[in-house]
Amino acid sequence: MEGADLLTAGVLFLFAAVAAVPLAARLGIGAVLGYLLAGIAIGPWGLGFISDVDEILHFSELGVVFLMFIIGLELNPSRLWQLRRSIFGVGAAQVLLSAAVLAGLLMLADFLWQAAVVGGIGLAMSSTAMALQLMREKGMNRSESGQLGFSVLLFQDLAVIPALALVPLLAGSADEHFDWFKVAMKVLAFAVMLIGGRYLLRPVFRFIAASGVREVFTAATLLLVLSAALFMDALGLSMALGTFIAGVLLAESEYRHELENAIDPFKGLLLGLFFISVGMSLNLGVLYTHLLWVAASVVILVVIKMLTLYLLARLYGIRSSERMQFASVLSQGGEFAFVLFSTASSQRLFQGDQMALLLVTVTLSMMTTPLLMKGIDKWLSRRLNGPEENDEKPWVEDDKPQVIVVGFGRFGQVIARLLMANKMRITVLERDIGAVFGIGFPPFLGGPFRYMDALGPGEMVATLQRLAALYGPRYAPCEQLVRMAERREHFWTNGETDQGN
C-alpha cells in the first residue's frame, strides 16, 4: 500500500471498529462478531472501500502474535509442564479425530483424497485469536475448560509445522532427497533462540528498566515481540509460537507485568484489525452461489468439532457445566486454514471452487462462535439454580497473589515476612528491583494501580506514606487498603482512614 492508501485504510478500520463494536455490545453479540461484521461492511463484497484483503490479513496476524506473547507471560515453565498431558494428549486427539472425520466427509463431497486430507487438517484447527479472546471475555482463563482449551490451541500451533510440510508430499512435488542440513540449521537456530532468551533477556530488560524511561521500555518490548516473530517466520515456523516462547521465557521475570502493560494496547488494536480483515475475506459471491452447500458445511463442521471436544472433555474429567463451554469456544475453523489452503492451492491440490468454499465455511464458522457461546451461557444460567460447588483441587495451581506489598523498605519487609509466615501468596511492587533480589520474595517492576487487574489480589498493603497520601483516597479496588504514616502507631487496618502525620 502507498502512504496515502495506508492512512485511508487506517481511518476506515478505526471508523468501522468505533461504529460496529459498541453497537454489537449493545445488541449483546460481543465485540468479536462486531469486528467481523464491520469487515464485511467495508470489504470488497460489502461497500468495497478496501480491496487488498490478503496484505491486510497478513499484517493483522500481528494481533495474534501479540496475544500469544501475553499468554506466554502468564504461563511460566513449571505451569506449562503441568499442562503437558492435556497438550499432547487431548490436543493431539482433537486434531487427529476431527481431521479424520472431516477428511472422510470431504472425500464423500468429491474432493481428491489428497485435498480431503489437507482440508480435514485445516478445518480441524480452531481460531487461536477468537478462542482466547472469548475465553478472556467469559472469564474462562483459570477454569478447567479454559486451561484445557488453551492446551488444545497450543498443540494446534505446534501442528502447523508438520501440516505445512505435508502439503508438498501429498502434491507429489517434494524433493527426492530430504535436506537434512536445512532441518539441522533450523533446529540449531531454534535452540540458540531458547538459550539466548533464557540467559540474555532478563539482563537486557534490567539495563533498560534502569533508565527509568517508559517509552524505551515499550520500544524494547515491541522489538522483542517483532524480532521473535520475524525470526520464527524466517525459519518457516509459526510466528505466534515464537512470541509465545519469548513470553514463557520472561514469565518468571520481575518485568512480567510491565511487559504485559506495554504490549496490551497494541494487542487489542491489532486483534480487532485481524477480525475485521477476516470479515473482509468473506466471499459473498461464493456464498450466494452455493448457499445450501456452505450452510450445511458450517453446521456439520461446528457439530463435529463440538461432539469431538465434548467427548474428550468428558474423558478427561472436565465437569459437566464446563464441557459445553469448552466444546463451543473451539468449534470454529481457524486462521491457520487460510495459510494451509493457500499453500495447497499453490500446489494445485484443489479443483474449481473447492478452496473458496472451504474458506467461506471457515469464516462463517468463526461468526457462529460468539452467538453459540451466548446461547450456551443462557442455557447454563437456566439449568443451574446457583453456583456449582467445587470441592476439587484446582486443575492448575493458582499462583495469583492474595496480597500486594507496595514498597519494600524496612516496614514493607516486616509486613512481607509476616504474611509469608502465615502462608499468604504475596507479590512485591518496587521501582528499585535491586533492593528486593536475594531476599526471597517475588518482585515486579512498576507502580501498583496499573496492575490491579492483572495481579487480582484480595488486599493491598501500601507501605509508602507518599503513595498512600497520593492514591489512597482516590483508588480502592481491593477489599482493604492498609496505609501507614511516618510513625508506626499511626498504622490502621480498618480500611480507608485519614493520613496521619
In Å, how far from its chain's centre is CA 47? 31
**Comparing C-alpha atoms, which of 145, 94, 93 is closest to residue 325?**
145
Question: What CATH number does residue 420 fall under?
Answer: 3.40.50.720
The answer to whether the CB of 445 falls within 8 A of the CB of 209 is yes
The answer to whether the CB of 256 falls within 8 A of the CB of 444 is yes
Provide the grid cell at 471. 492514591
- Residue 39 in any domain: the answer is no
**Comparing C-alpha atoms, which of 468, 435, 428 is closest to residue 210?**
435
What letter does residue 444 receive in the DSSP assignment?
E
- Residue 497 in any domain: the answer is no
| 478 and 347 in a common domain | no
| 162 and 88 in a common domain | yes
- Residue 202 in any domain: the answer is yes
In Å, how far from its chain's centre is CA 264? 11
Provide the grid cell at 240. 505466534
pLDDT at 304: 95
The answer to whether the CB of 444 falls within 8 A of the CB of 469 is no
**Comparing C-alpha atoms, which of 332, 33, 348, 304 is closest to residue 168?**
348
| 328 and 460 in a common domain | no
| 466 and 412 in a common domain | yes
The answer to whether the CB of 483 falls within 8 A of the CB of 493 is no
pLDDT at 168: 77
Q: Which domain holds residue 438?
A: 403-490
Q: What is the CA radius of gyration of the chain?
A: 25
What letter does residue 388 receive in the DSSP assignment?
P
| 214 and 285 in a common domain | yes
- Residue 48 in any domain: the answer is no
pLDDT in tens, 31-77: 777 888 888 888 887 777 877 777 777 777 777 788 778 877 777 67
- Residue 43 in any domain: the answer is no
- Residue 25 in any domain: the answer is no
Tell me how far apart the alpha carbons of residues 333 and 155 are, in angstroms, rounded to a whole number: 15
**Comparing C-alpha atoms, which of 471, 472, 488 is closest to residue 480?**
472
pLDDT at 379: 80
| 166 and 267 in a common domain | yes
| 408 and 376 in a common domain | no
pLDDT at 251: 78
- Residue 413 in any domain: the answer is yes
Question: What CATH number does residue 141 fall under?
Answer: 1.20.1530.20
Q: For the chain, which ranges sit under pLDDT 70?
A: 1-5, 76, 173-180, 382-402, 406-412, 414, 420, 422-424, 426, 428-501
The answer to whether the CB of 53 falls within 8 A of the CB of 281 is yes
| 353 and 417 in a common domain | no
| 278 and 328 in a common domain | yes
Query: Dihedrals φ, ψ of 491, to 5°?
Result: -100, 120
pLDDT at 124: 93
- Of the three residues 383, 413, 446, the one that is the final residue of a domain is 383
**Comparing C-alpha atoms, which of 327, 315, 330, 318 is closest to residue 154?**
330
The answer to whether the CB of 238 falls within 8 A of the CB of 64 is no
pLDDT at 299: 94
pLDDT at 393: 45
- Residue 275 in any domain: the answer is yes
Amino acid at 106: L
| 339 and 436 in a common domain | no
| 411 and 378 in a common domain | no
| 279 and 192 in a common domain | yes
Number of domains in the chain: 2
Tell me how far apart the alpha carbons of residues 57 and 246 are, in angstroms, rounded to a whole number: 23
